[in-house]
Amino acid sequence: PGSISFITQSGSLGLALAEWTIDTGIGLCKVISTGNKADVDDVDLIEYLNNDPSTGVIAMYVEGIKRGRDFIDAVRRVRKPIVAIKTGRSKRGAKAVFSHTGSIAGSDEVYSAAFRQAGILRVDIIDELFDAALAFSCQPLPSGNNVAILSNGGGASIVAADECERQSLNIVDLTPETREKIKKVIPQFASNSNPIDTAGTVSFEIYDNIIKALHDDPNVDAIIVIYVHTTMSSAMPPAEAVVEMKLKCIKAKSRKPIIACWMGGAGTEEGVEILKSGCIPNYPVPERAVKALSCLIKHQEFLDKVKIGVGQEDKMGRCK
Amino acid sequence: PGSISFITQSGSLGLALAEWTIDTGIGLCKVISTGNKADVDDVDLIEYLNNDPSTGVIAMYVEGIKRGRDFIDAVRRVRKPIVAIKTGRSKRGAKAVFSHTGSIAGSDEVYSAAFRQAGILRVDIIDELFDAALAFSCQPLPSGNNVAILSNGGGASIVAADECERQSLNIVDLTPETREKIKKVIPQFASNSNPIDTAGTVSFEIYDNIIKALHDDPNVDAIIVIYVHTTMSSAMPPAEAVVEMKLKCIKAKSRKPIIACWMGGAGTEEGVEILKSGCIPNYPVPERAVKALSCLIKHQEFLDKVKIGVGQEDKMGRCK
């Protein structure tokens, strides 16, 4: 059991999500399939889940909303993050929506605007829906959008940096002290500026020292840790370093999320298992890690701007 | 051994791709890591791979190109599909690119324009690079952009339809004969218009009949087959139907690609194994299936427009 609850107009997508959560090792709280919404609708469900102590994040698959105004009002009262995919934006899709659940897909722009006002994070693809829910379910919201990236592969860190800029996240300048600490544990030809590239070297000690340095850097709000598998390295020690840091964060009630990206398929499995058991959100490519983090940041920004006075719930360590 | 060759300025991404191909069961041909390109560069490599009979598709991870004009000229002579990700588009990314391989990232718009002119398919994220390479490596290029979608879940088919429109693919009207054939095998409340939704029902017979009907429909250029796993169904029979159709296509030298999307993680594993062994490109979410298909279509459109007189190589059944 975890903290992700899913409201879906497609029963089969609900089942797919359930299976996916088994894969990722992250528990699911409730899956509610609404279909054509003859008796219960989203307004009731949102209110119910907002009061449900075991729900930490609400994911939605939406084809159409019936009581639009009531829905927006209900959502604005919700402190929990809501991530939604809204389909039927294409002509064919809208026709299929009507035949599927009898919903009127409506103007896509109207939905986007309404979701934005209400603080719903609208994502475009199913991957992103699940990815964001995973991050919300086991990491705290960061205080700001200043991101640090650690990687043992230059290419992967550059891909992550590009995606950060696309998502308006800031690749922050590290303090001289942090850079000095990092310099001590990486080869001379590696990069100790953000994004940090250890130039292939990877061990528990290297990752542990760097992650700690980043965590102690007051400029950094969130950390992305990337590991690219090679035949010369093991995926486990860096994963252990990440999990150890997370345990320290929970103890210290720190609000710096750590997001992982272990690349390289089958070769990384043992490391991925360690991340799962430590409740670290892990993604197979850097872009998905960055997008998931971006949802955490956007939700905090929304709370700061709109929901003043509404404190952040501490979701640290909620899963497991 | 398969037909995907990968030219990469990041050695670690090359290794990650190699691991990924083990996962997907699709073989890799050559991985060439170029680094800072001191002696060999992309122009030489593109020409070499163009003449390499075992290479069917070229994937590239690019940080910077040195001999721009020569590179474009070389690419325009290549008949094989080239899919590329170009990083360093962000300020931080460009800085990291320079520290990584000494490349000048250059103007992102210039790269986009040059790639487009040369017929290189530029993708934005690593997933898409691998996904497209997979589709090219084991499916023929379609004659046009008229797509049919078959799914046992309404939500997933709508997601696919939306993504098709985003990628400028046409969800085609099926002929009355096709719709009649489909009507015979699905429940009355299911949808026999494109996207086809079997409303949960799934079996070898249902999928086999529908895929055949779609294949025989002259309006249809390409088929996307989606299966959403539920506890009431098995992922294997529909996978067998897809593989059987592919074998028939190879025999008939048909040019209609079939792209699969088996959703539901661990529950679909046995079905996914069947798809792999039949060399069917399979993706975990509909959007990735649509994007990969869209690369096949765009490449054919490029060949039609620009490379007149250059015949399509028959890549059917090249893998395995």
Instruction: With beta carbons under 8 A apart, name residues in chain B contacting A100.
Output: 154-155, 158, 191, 197
| Chain B 42-71, residues with CB within 8 Å of chain A CB atoms | 61, 63
Fold of the B146-305 domain:
Rossmann fold (3.40.50)
Q: For residues A200 and B65, give the distance between their C-alpha atoms in angstroms, rounded to a whole number.
A: 23
Q: Is A123 on the interface with B (CB under 8 A)?
A: no
Q: Is A96 on the interface with B (CB under 8 A)?
A: yes
* Contact check, Cβ <8 Å, A285/B127: yes
- Interface probe with B: pick from A9, A21, A92, A227, most Cβ of B within 10 Å: A92
The full DSSP string for B156-209 is HHHHHHHHHHHTT-EEPPPPHHHHHHHHHHS-TTSB-SSSEE-TT---HHHHHH
Q: Is A152 on the interface with B (CB under 8 A)?
A: yes
Contacts of B189 (CB under 8 A, 6+ apart): B199
pLDDT computed for residue A313 by the predictor: 44
CB atoms within 10 A of CB A96: 32
**B234 pLDDT more than 90:** yes
Computed over every residue of chain B, the mean pLDDT equals 87
pLDDT computed for residue B317 by the predictor: 35
Instruction: With beta carbons under 8 A apart, name residues in chain B contacting A200.
Output: 11-12
Which residues face B148 on adjacent strands? B223
- Interface probe with B: pick from A91, A162, A171, most Cβ of B within 10 Å: A162
- Whether B4-138 and B146-305 share one fold: the answer is yes
Nearest to A132 by CA among A78, A72, A82, A166: A82
pLDDT computed for residue A14 by the predictor: 83
* Contact check, Cβ <8 Å, A90/B287: no
* Domains in chain A: boundaries: 4-138, 146-297
* Contact check, Cβ <8 Å, A13/B153: yes
* Contact check, Cβ <8 Å, B85/A266: no
Give the residue ranges of chain A where pLDDT is below 50: 309-320
pLDDT computed for residue B10 by the predictor: 80
Q: In terms of CATH, what superfamily is A146-297?
A: Succinyl-CoA synthetase domains (3.40.50.261)
Instruction: With beta carbons under 8 A apart, name residues in chain B contacting A90.
Output: 161-162, 164-166, 171
Interface predicted TM-score (ipTM) over 0.90: no
Nearest to B164 by CA among A95, A128, A109, A90: A90
pLDDT tens digits, residue range B35-78? 666 667 788 899 999 999 999 999 999 888 888 888 888 898 88
* Contact check, Cβ <8 Å, A90/B229: no
Residue written as token pair 């693809």 = A125
A4-138 in CATH: which number? 3.40.50.261
pLDDT computed for residue A309 by the predictor: 44
Mean pLDDT value of segment B7-33:
80
pLDDT tens digits, residue range B249-304? 888 888 899 999 999 877 899 999 999 999 899 999 999 999 999 999 999 999 88
